[in-house]
């Protein structure tokens, strides 16, 4: 990927066309970007959440005005169909607007009531301040959405941001950077294109928080780096996402929803369905309906009209898909449709449905990140729940059934950060809902109020408003022990009588200044 001029060359995975190049930023560029971000931090922080919100809305407006050209570039560099690219631009605008309009509600000072009489005549409240300089390291599969969901929150919280995009989609990040330069103050959002060496240099730099979206292996490295510096990290990692079909499911509806959630973005989503558990009694009928829908999918370049499934991002990802499928076939899995790359220009893999899979197959153990759907018949819902949870991953899952009360009960038993009922993938584009995984699915949340709280430091301010010494200050009064004993009983006595006697004892021995 890198040439003699230390740059990244970007290609359209749908036809191999050269799109452009981006520099590989090294330690010197990282150091300069850190300095700019650190210098910009005080003024950006002191602008307040209202001023920062107005700046985010300017960026939203710039992205809105550029949305068609931006989506076309996104479709070409990432490969996804144009409607999906436009939906991603829409979601990015949603995140900017959501945080701009709701920052005051989330970041306002919050009073704390302290009923302990020892601490009377005080004002105590919780306030929030930015972490500082935040590194946002993002992947290629949703290069705008997954970037903006962290960037928007970090910026509105008063942080400055260093954005390191994937080396496979640098041009999208560069286009965003040009828009940001017009909408935001200098140094508030700095771009660092590059490869793994750029990311490593950024993690070695004096940052204050890191938001990382990507693989478990890299996420562990990021976590170790953060721990060594005693800084916080938000990690959104991999998934091996299960779907559980309940006995009362509408099979036509379920087949349509499952095919969408399994093959959208060519299965290159951490929240894609990668394991489908079905009751034995429904397996044949549902499988036939799924295969018919998969057979009807339109595959092609993302800018072609009517295309539903685009290319695989690169040969590395293609090799992983082929390795998982080869392992499954060698161990007895049956391919019902697909199972091979398509000939011609571009990196296309035929949407694939498998049966006869077993737990020892790679395709059931590791994240595939491709257009492959294994179907696993089981005898009971209890077995499905056990199988769904029998994984080191816990990012997302889905449950499919008519009885919503039962479906919700099942959803509560699945160990995943997000569980959809009769749908899939959709809340990743809605800023109100935090996302994040259990187990190897990650640490922390992105989006919503919970995600914003990841990007600030909570500070308690406690004010003694009485102008008098606290009763426990030196010198110790003779009745202090009885005062504390009375306080304990007044607050925590076994009954009303104990609490009343405690209150009297407290008042009798209240230390006088």
Q: What does the alpha-carbon distance between residue 119 and residue 462 come to, in Å, rounded to a whole number?
A: 10
User: What angle in degrees, to the nearest 10, is found between the helix axes of 82-107 and 48-65?
Assistant: 170
Catalytic residue among 88, 94, 190, 236: 236
**DSSP collapsed to 3 states, 225-289:** HHHHHCCEEEEECCCCEEEEECCCCCHHHHHHHHHHHHHHHHHCCCCCEEEEEEEHHHHHHHHHH
Longest dimension (CA), the chain: 91
**283 within 8 A of 322, measured Cβ to Cβ:** no
Q: What does the alpha-carbon distance between residue 510 and residue 513 come to, in Å, rounded to a whole number?
A: 10
Residue 317 DSSP SS3: helix
Length of the chain: 513
Q: What does the alpha-carbon distance between residue 115 and residue 209 come to, in Å, rounded to a whole number?
A: 35
Catalytic residue among 88, 167, 270, 454: 270
Q: Would you tell me how many other CB atoms lie within 10 Å of the CB of residue 68? A: 12
| 72 phi, psi to nearest 5 deg | -65, -40
Known active-site residue 211? no
User: What angle in degrees, to the nearest 10, is found between the helix axes of 404-413 and 381-389?
Assistant: 30
Alpha-carbon Rg for the chain in angstroms: 27
Known active-site residue 270? yes
Q: What does the alpha-carbon distance between residue 354 and residue 102 come to, in Å, rounded to a whole number?
A: 45
The enclosing H or E element of 318 equals: helix 315-330
**56 within 8 A of 44, measured Cβ to Cβ:** no
Q: Is the dihedral of CA 419, 424, 428, 429 positive or negative?
A: negative
The enclosing H or E element of 393 equals: strand 393-394
Q: What does the alpha-carbon distance between residue 458 and residue 463 come to, in Å, rounded to a whole number?
A: 16
**408 within 8 A of 422, measured Cβ to Cβ:** no
Token duo for residue 248? 């009362």
**388 within 8 A of 277, measured Cβ to Cβ:** yes
Q: What does the alpha-carbon distance between residue 133 and residue 203 come to, in Å, rounded to a whole number?
A: 12
Closest CA to 299 of 352, 355, 354: 352
User: What angle in degrees, to the nearest 10, is found between the helix axes of 67-78 and 82-107?
Assistant: 120
Which positions are catalytic?
A: 236, 270
């Amino acid at each position: 990927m890198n040439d003699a001029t230390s740059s990244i060359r970007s290609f359209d995975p749908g036809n191999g066309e050269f799109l452009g190049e981006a520099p590989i930023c090294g330690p010197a560029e990282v150091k300069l970007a850190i300095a700019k971000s650190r210098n910009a931090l005080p003024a950006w922080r002191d602008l307040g959440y209202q001023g920062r919100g107005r700046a985010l809305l300017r960026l939203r407006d710039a992205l809105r005005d550029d949305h068609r050209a931006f989506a076309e570039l996104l479709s070409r560099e990432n490969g996804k169909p144009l409607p999906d690219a436009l939906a991603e631009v829409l979601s990015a605008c949603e995140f900017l607007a959501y945080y701009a309009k709701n920052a005051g509600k989330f970041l306002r000072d919050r009073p704390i009531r302290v009923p302990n009489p020892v601490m009377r005549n005080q004002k105590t409240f919780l306030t929030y301040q930015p972490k500082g300089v935040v590194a946002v390291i993002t992947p290629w599969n949703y290069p705008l959405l997954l970037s903006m969901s962290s960037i928007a929150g970090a910026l509105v919280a008063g942080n400055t941001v260093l954005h390191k995009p994937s080396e496979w989609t640098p041009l999208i990040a560069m286009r965003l950077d040009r828009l940001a330069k017009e909408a935001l103050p200098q140094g508030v959002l700095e771009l660092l294109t590059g490869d793994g060496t750029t990311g490593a240099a950024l993690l070695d730099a004096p940052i204050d928080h890191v938001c990382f979206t990507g693989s478990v292996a890299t996420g562990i490295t990021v976590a170790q780096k953060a721990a060594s510096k005693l800084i916080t990290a938000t990690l959104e990692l991999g998934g091996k996402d299960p779907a559980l079909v309940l006995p009362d499911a509408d099979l036509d509806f379920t087949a349509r929803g499952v095919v969408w959630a399994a093959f959208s973005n060519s299965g290159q989503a951490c929240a894609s369905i990668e394991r489908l558990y079905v009751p034995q009694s429904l397996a044949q009928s549902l499988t036939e309906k799924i295969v018919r829908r998969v057979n009807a999918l339109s595959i092609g370049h993302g800018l072609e009209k009517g295309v539903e499934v685009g290319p695989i991002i690169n040969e590395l990802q293609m090799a992983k898909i082929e390795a998982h499928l080869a392992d499954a076939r060698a161990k007895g899995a049956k391919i019902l449709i697909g199972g091979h790359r398509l000939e011609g220009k571009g990196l296309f893999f035929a949407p694939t449905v498998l049966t006869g899979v077993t737990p020892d197959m790679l395709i059931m153990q590791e994240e595939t990140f491709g257009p492959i759907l294994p179907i696993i018949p089981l005898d009971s819902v209890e077995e499905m729940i056990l199988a769904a949870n029998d994984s080191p991953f816990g990012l997302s899952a889905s449950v499919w059934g008519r009885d919503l009360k039962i479906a919700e009960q099942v959803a509560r038993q699945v160990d995943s950060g997000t569980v959809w009922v009769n749908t899939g993938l959709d809340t990743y584009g809605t800023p109100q809902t935090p996302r994040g995984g259990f187990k190897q699915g990650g640490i922390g949340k992105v989006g919503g109020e919970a995600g914003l709280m990841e990007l600030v430091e909570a500070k308690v301010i406690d004010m003694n408003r009485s102008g008098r010494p606290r009763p426990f200050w030196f010198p110790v009064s003779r009745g202090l022990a009885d005062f504390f004993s009375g306080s304990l009983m007044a607050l925590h006595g076994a009954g009303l009588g104990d609490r009343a006697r405690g209150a009297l004892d407290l008042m009798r021995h209240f230390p006088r200044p």
